[in-house]
Structure 1
Amino acid sequence: MSNPILYLSEASIFQRDNLVLKNVNISIDEGEFVYLIGKTGSGKSSLMKTLYGDLELQQGTGAIVGFDLGKLKEKQIPFLRRKIGVVFQDFKLLNDRNVEGNLQFVLKATGWKDTSQMNAKISEVLEKVGMQTKGFKMPFELSGGEQQRIAIARALLNDPELIIADEPTGNLDPRTSIEVMEVLEEIHKTGKTILMATHDYALIMKYPHKTLKCEGDELFEVVQQNA
């Protein structure tokens, strides 16, 4: 049996002092694609933030890409984030520099030094998301779908073991959502593990995967009827 890339056992998820999810038990193996669904305010984002070290795991046990979430120290968080790629709903691109500059910023921040290696890596991730001709563009010159592709490229820079996508299609129209989903599906086929929070039930029907649901301060697996 492979070790799960991510697990939580009897975990309680807090947003400040408020309990948002209790008795959370999840296990995600390498190479899985898992959806996380639930209404706004049901705890999806708090759960995601706990996984990438933004919120502390106060109760229960858990580990992600080899890091113990219960004992995670502030100084370990940058190393944890090198092994996880996070894709946000609102892209979070830096508007004062072009696409290549955005990607270079992340590489430098995570310890890359060699310019030719950085350039090669930037070309590689842009090609993976079909944006190899857009490196010179400023973020505001790109459509929402293109910006999200760049955000996915950014998440791939350090060859993460796990990609956490928090509502990656939340700001996109249906057609663009499918294009972005196709990019994520292609990345998943290369063996990457993906955990994706979404509201978009049309995508879940079109691309069925294991689905976890936050509801009534609990998290449970949803059995899909049409899988």
Structure 2
Amino acid sequence: MSQPVLFLRNANIYQEKNLVLSNVNVEVNSGEFIYLIGKTGSGKSSFMKTLYADLPLTEGEGSIVDFDLASLKEKNIPYLRRKIGIVFQDFKLLPDRTITANLEFVLKATGWTDKQEIQLKIDEVLDKVAMKSKALKMPHQLSGGEQQRIAIARALLNDPELILADEPTGNLDPQTSAEVLQLLREINQNGKTIIMATHDYALLMKFPSKTLKCDDSMIFEVVQRTT
């Protein structure tokens, strides 16, 4: 049995001094697609932030892509983040530069130096999200759905073992949301492990998958009713 991509055991998750989620026991294996649901304020974002080490894990055990979260040193956080891709609700594209320059910025920041390799990688990820024709556009020239596709391309740049998508359809209309989710599902079918936080229950019904729920300071698996 291969080592899980992520596990938390008896973990308590805090936002500053407030206990947000208690006694968290979660295991995610390679290749899974998992939804994380729950009301606003139920702890979804705190859970995600713990995974990419924005919040420290101070109580309990945790490991993500072979990094021990409980003993993770600040200087190692950038190395952890290279092995996971993060997709945010609000795209987080740099508004003053083209799509290519946005992606180039990330690659250079994570140690890429060869110009030709950088360009090849940018072409590859834009191809995966069907956005190669938009490479020289500025972010404001793209629709919300197109910007989110670029954000997904950015998350793929360093070939992550795990993608964390935090409300990736939160700012999109239903049609575009479905297209973005379809894209994430395709990336998952090509072997990437994905955890997606969402409050869009229509998407869950349309594309059912393993679901974790944050509620009442707990996190637990829910079985979706299929009609």
Alignment TM class, shorter chain as reference: over 0.9
1:110 aligns to 2:85 (yes or no): no
Give the 3-state SS of the residue equivalent to 2:133 in structure 1.
Answer: coil
TM-score (norm 2): 0.99
Aligned partner of 1:72 in structure 2 is 72
- Classify the secondary structure of the residue corresponding to 2:148: helix
Q: Where does 1:121-136 land on structure 2 (aligned, <5 Å)? A: 121-136=121-136
Equivalence map 1:212-223=2 (5 Å) = 212-223=212-223
- Tell me the secondary structure at the aligned position of residue 208 of structure 1: coil
For the residue of structure 2 that corresponds to 1:21, the secondary structure is strand
Q: Find the aligned partners of 2:127 and 2:30 in 1 and give their Cα distance.
A: 24
Output the CA distance in 2 between the equivalents of 1:47 and 1:224.
21
Superposed CA offset, 1:136-175 (max 9, x none): 0000000000000000000000000000000000000000
Long gaps (5+) in structure 1: none
CA distance in 1, matches of 2:109, 2:57: 26
Superposition deviation, residue 2 in structure 1: 1.3
Q: Report the secondary structure of 1:14's partner residue.
A: strand
SS in 2 for 1:63: strand
**1:74, CA displacement in angstroms?**
0.4
**Post-superposition offset of 1:195:** 0.3
RMSD after superposition: 0.7
Q: Secondary structure at the residue paired with 1:39? A: coil
- Looking at structure 2, the residues matched to 195 and 214 of structure 1 have their Cα atoms a distance apart, in angstroms, of 14
Q: CA deviation at 1:224?
A: 1.1
Shift in Å, 1:204: 0.5
Runs of at least 4 residues off by over 6 Å: none
Q: How does 1:73-112 map to 2 (within 5 A)?
A: 73-112=73-112
Match of 1:37 in 2: 37
Q: State the match for 1:60 in structure 2.
A: 60
Letter aligned with residue 195 of structure 1: I
SS where residue 199 of structure 1 aligns?
Answer: coil
Q: Which amino acid aligns with 1:64?
A: I
Aligned equivalent of 2:209: 209
**Aligned equivalents of 1:165 and 1:225: distance in 2?**
23
Paired letter, 2:188 = H
Equivalent residues, number: 227
* Seq. identity, %: 68
Query: Shift of residue 225 of structure 1?
Result: 1.6
- Rounded Cα–Cα distance in structure 2 between residues aligned with 1:186 and 1:130: 12
How far apart are the structure 1 equivalents of 2:142 and 2:124? Answer: 19
- The answer for the alignment partner of 1:156 in structure 2 is 156
Matches within 5 A, 1:164-175: 164-175=164-175
SS of the residue corresponding to residue 3 of structure 2 reads coil
**SS of the counterpart of 1:220?**
strand
Match of 2:176 in 1: 176
**TM-score, scaled relative to structure 1:** 0.99
Q: Deviations over 1:27-54 (max 9, x none)?
A: 0000000000000000000010000010
